[in-house]
Each structure stands twice: as C-alpha cells, then as structure tokens.
Chain A
Amino acid sequence: MGQLWESFAMAFKDVFANKTRSFLTMLGIIIGILSVSLMGTAISGINNTFENSMEMIGNDVLHLQKYPWFMKGGDWWDFRNRPDMKVEYAEKILQRSKKISFASTEMQNMGNIRYGDNSIQGVFIDAASWQLQFVNSLDLLAGRFYTKAEDRNASKVVVIGYGIKDNLFPNQNPIGEEVRIRGMKYKVIGTLKEQGKFLGLFSFDNMAIIPLRSAYSIFGRRRHMSITLKVREGFEVGEAKEEVRMIMRSIRGLKPAEKDNFAINQQEAFRQQFSAIKMGISGAGFGITALALLVGGIGIMNIMFVSVRERTKEIGIRKALGAKQNIILFQFLSEAVIIAVIGGLIGLSITISLVGLLNKFFVASLSIKLIIISLSVSIITGILSGIVPARKAAKLDPIDAIRYE
C-alpha cells in the first residue's frame, strides 16, 4: 500500500511539476468531458421540459382538429379546404363512442386582459366548454371552474392562469374581481396553479379560460374549433383514436375511398418529432465527445512517452533500489489517469457554470449519474492512453535506464 501511495504521490507531483504541459495535454479531455456532460445535461433538461409539456397535453387525450400538428407532405390547400369543426361533434361523438369519457370543444385566440389601469397583451384565451375541467388536468390554485349552466348561459366568468394572476393581482385576491377581456367584462372565479412553459416556448400560465359560448360574441362563431377527447380509463389511446376516426367519417358522410378530412392529434406526434431531435443532439454530442476523447487520449499517450523518456534515469534508479515492474507501471499509469481526471473535472466545472445558462431555456441540472459517467470516462481514457507508455517504463532494463542521460 505504501508503495502504491508513494507512486501515486510522485505521479501527482510530476503532473504539477509540468503545469503548462499537463494543461495542454488535458485540453482534449476537457473538451470531451465538457461535451458529454453538457450534452447529457441538455438532453435531460429538454426531456424534463418535454415530459412536463406532454403532461399539459395529457397522454390519454385526443385532439380532433382541422389540421394535423405536424404536416408531413400533402398539399396545404387540401387541409385548408377541409370543413371546419363544429360544436355538435362533441355531443355526437360522446353519444356513439364507448371509449371516450369526456369531450370538450375549444376555440383559442390571443387577446389582452385589463384590470384597472394594468393590462397584459398577448394572453392565450381558451374558450372551452365546461367539460374541459374533466378532459385536462387543470389544477386550481383558488376558486372554482365554471359550471355547465354558466357555459350554457354564456356567463362572463373567467379562470386565469398563474402568470396573469401574478401580473394583474400581485398583492390581491383576484376571485370576484372584474377584468376586461377584449373589452368585455369578465368576473374572475378561479386561478390555476403554475404550470411552466410548453416546450420552453409558450407559457400556459399566461392563459385565461372562458366559457365557450361566452366567446362567440368576442371571437365570432367560426374560429378554428377543436374538440378535445378524453379516452375512457381501461381503453388504449390507439383504439379510441380509431373509433373516433370511424365516428367522424360517419358524421362527415365520407365514402370508403375518400380520405379523412379531419385530423386526430395526440402526444405521439410530438414524441416522434422530439425523439428525432433528441437523436440528432445525442448523435452530434456523441461524435464530438468520441473525437475529443480520442484526440485527448492520443495527446496523453504522447506526453506519457515523453515523460517516460525524460525520466528514464529515474526509472533506472528506482528499479535498482528494488521497485518492481508493477510499481513503475502504476506510477506512470497514475500520472496518465491524474491528467485525464483533472481534465475531466475541469470539463465538469465548465459544464456546471454553463448549466446556469442552460437554465434560461429549460430546467436542467447536472445529475450525479452524469458526473459519475464523466469521471469514469476520464479514468478509462487515462488508463487506455497510459497503459502502453507505462508498460514501456516498467519493462526498462535497469542498467540501460540508469546510464541514460
């Protein structure tokens, strides 16, 4: 143990005796570890954001709309010429379907909200039927959602998102207050909990939900309507989607040869897009990492050969005094690993300082797992690049080595 420790300590000294050289040698490893840890952090951050966003959409929810979320091929005019969605569809689907438990019709638009002298521009206004509360997982912070009767009567009531509450009513209970949405008076009856941004872009907190019928007078009847359907528990989303498709074809009176003139969107569409992006990022990251580590490893190997040559005499002295091959091997291997691990630590610390920057775009943190992976990769790179020079050192003939000048 004493021998190993001494070898390790010597190796450590030697790394620090040549600071500039060691640092230059580390560069490849620094870049490699920086790339692997930054990429890992970014992917996990994007993943978290994505999963949160998917939760907002709901994984057991189908969106019956005019347009598909991601248009693959097809002529835009074909989509454009499709008939619009109608409010009645929701009821019809509910009546005929076994696999759908709730249906909510929605119209979405942007608008401004004013309270007293304060107003917020570009608020996402979701005019939805009262069933929305059962279709989406809306967590109320305070107050209540509107009732069936309020929806039927086109009552001017509104449930506001956390962001709006925070902006318009920073130190005040908003429940019962009157705000103006596109100039119309609405009474606040509920506030939503904070939800975060959808895919880091669009904030669901900056949202106001109003009864569908109350919106006709503001938006007009024919805004793009969409019908959100909740799949009944115990049924697969895919089966339900197929069922809804058949019901819709029948409602629209489509002949068997005709194509669907509606789209049933679901989370899956996002997932497919997302996994392609994720693959792209990790592919590029992996490539950069592998390349940087290869270059870094070769750099370490090169400097270790130099180091062995420079210290040939020292190796000879040590062997003459009784150092066995493994001890010499360990000393030089330690040196390579120390260089690689310090490089890895520098790379990691750069990542840590950059995580703050990443956090401006999405919630990301460097996981313990990623730190362990990064350090293991450093150690392995050090061993792989140090083993050949270290073996060379260990096998030196003491007589030749001690005479080396």
Chain B
Amino acid sequence: MALLELNNIFKTYKIGSVEVHALQGLNTVIKKNEYVSIMGPSGSGKSTLMNVIGCLDTPTEGNYLLDGLTVHSNNSEEAKLDDNKLAEIRNQKIGFVFQTFNLLPRATALHNVELPLIYAGISKKARMEKAHSTLIEVGLGDRMHHKPNELSGGQRQRVAMARALVNNPSIILADEPTGNLDSKTSAEIMVLLDKLHSVGNTIILVTHEHDIAEHAHRIITLLDGKVSEDSKTKNGSKNKLINNNS
C-alpha cells in the first residue's frame, strides 16, 4: 500500500532572475512501514525533496499523494493547499527530526514534546500523558523537566524524536539526524530510529553518510533533481531484522 506517491514532481526556484530547477520530474513511491534513505550529492535536490515530502513546501508541478490525501495535483480542480492546511497536514502526518534538533530553547523537554499535541488541539491531560509516555519511550523519563541547554546533544535529539513521534505521524522525516553528533551518540540515535521502524513507523532518512544510510532497507539516490538509483540494502534483503552494527 502506497503511503506516499510522488509523480513527476518539478520544483523551480527563482533566485533573482535565475531559475533553479531543484526537482525535475521526480517519481517515487514509498510504502507503509518502509525504511528509506535518501542520498545524493549537494545540489541534487535532497533538501527540496525533503521539504516537499514534509509539506513545508509545495512542488511547482506534479502530483503528490500522502496517506490518501492529495497535497498537490496538476489537476487544478483539486486546489493547491494553503499555508494553514499544510500546517495541519504537517501536524497530523509528519514527524520531523532535524540535524540541529530545533527544540524551543526556553521550553522544557516535556513542553517541546507537547507542542505538536497542542497544535492538534488535544486536551491538557491527554497530551501530558502522551508526552510523558513518549519521552519514556525514547529513554528520557528522568529528563522531562530539563531545558535543551541542560541536555547533551544525544538527549536533545531524543527529545526531538519524541516530539516527532508523539502525534502518531504517518512518516518520520529525519534530516541528517546524526549530523551534529559524535559517532557514539550517532550510533545510539540510529538504534532508536531502527527501533521506531521495527514497531511499525515509516521512516525517511536524509543523509550523505553511507553507513548511516545503510540502516535503512532501501536507498533512493538523487542526481540533478531526479531519482538516479533506487536499491535495497543489506538490511532490506534481510527483511526487517533489527540491526545494531554501525
């Protein structure tokens, strides 16, 4: 079952009078509970694709279906979604994990994790419970009331992962999640990401590090705004076994 379907996606930016063609007819399908890495040299369109998938940006052209919902369509009848509608989709369907963690610096871990639930309009009691249990799930049960600057890099990324998970999104979108971490902490984060996959989450991992990408079961390689290679990894062929070596 296709969770995410990108069909002939184009994205063109205008920087001054120069047009930048970031995506040029990209096609791909990602199924539910897949674990996919997106790789490619810089300028290949990785970031743009990630923004399009994450509904932070809409394509210039092409069809994008996410979890049965048309995010963008060439057919003008199906309206292009506005800023607020996209915010709603991000809130409901996407869990972001960023390279720079992007936590609110003055809020506690708990409050950071609570945020998506607040914007989802969930009651105080329910969201406290959910945020609590999710933080425990990522191993931060004892750090809930700490602010980001009182946490280590690995712990911050765990908070970010809890925040990504908390609203049960369709996709967890991790953009270089280990980019700012040392190798030991990176390994821990990848163990957690693998675990999240094993319990049924769909994970899309954007990275330029091969050993990190290898955690996924499938690697999509981009070049010049198109998919240049789409292959299964060792893990993929082993069929969803949790893999701890890094």
Contacts and interface: CB of A to CB of B under 8 A. Distances in A.
Interface of A: 2-3, 6, 13, 17, 313-314, 316-327, 395, 398-399, 402
A162 B92 CA distance: 79
A356 to B, nearest CB: 41
Nearest to B123: A2
Given A317-B102, A317-B104, A402-B102, A322 B120 contact: yes
**A contact patch SS:** helix
A324 B90 contact: no
Given A2-B124, A313-B102, A402-B102, A321 B56 contact: no
A320 B96 CA distance: 8
Contact of B88 (A2, A13, A317, A324): A324
B227 to A, nearest CB: 22
Nearest to A328: B87
The 9 closest A-B pairs by CB, nearest first: A322-B91, A322-B119, A324-B84, A324-B87, A321-B116, A6-B118, A317-B102, A322-B90, A399-B56
A12 to B, nearest CB: 12
A317 B96 CA distance: 10
Nearest to A326: B84
B106 A2 contact: no
**B interface residue count range (under 10 / 10 to 19 / 20 to 34 / 35 or more):** 20 to 34
A325 B84 contact: yes
B129 to A, nearest CB: 14
Given A17-B106, A402-B102, A320 B90 contact: yes
Given A17-B106, A321-B91, A321-B163, A398 B115 contact: no
Given A2-B127, A318-B104, A318-B115, 10 more contacts: A17-B106, A319-B87, A320-B56, A321-B119, A322-B90, A323-B119, A325-B83, A325-B84, A399-B57, A402-B102
A324 to B, nearest CB: 4
Interface in B73-127: 83-84, 87-88, 90-92, 96, 98, 102-106, 115-116, 118-124, 127
Contact of A321 (B83, B84, B90): B90
A320 B102 contact: yes
B198 interface: no
Nearest to A399: B56
A183 B35 CA distance: 114
5 contacts: A3-B121, A321-B116, A324-B84, A325-B87, A395-B83
A308 to B, nearest CB: 15
Nearest to A323: B119
Interface in B47-62: 51, 54, 56-57
B119 A327 contact: yes
A318 B115 CA distance: 8
A267 B83 CA distance: 67
Contacts of A13: 106
Contacts of B54: 320
Contacts of B119: 3, 318, 321-324, 327
B122 to A, nearest CB: 7
B115 A321 contact: yes
Contacts of B105: 314
A319 B116 CA distance: 10
Contacts of A327: 119
A328 to B, nearest CB: 10
Nearest to A313: B102
Contacts of A314: 104-105
B87 A322 contact: yes
B56 A398 contact: yes
Contacts of B88: 322, 324
Contact of B87 (A6, A317, A323, A395): A323
B121 A321 contact: no
Contacts of B98: 402
Identify the interface centre among B84, B87, B92: most chain A CB within 10 Å of its CB: B87
A13 B17 CA distance: 43
Contacts of B118: 2-3, 6
A392 to B, nearest CB: 14
Nearest to A316: B102
A385 B98 CA distance: 35
A180 to B, nearest CB: 80
A6 B116 CA distance: 12
A169 to B, nearest CB: 70
Nearest to A317: B102
Nearest to B167: A322
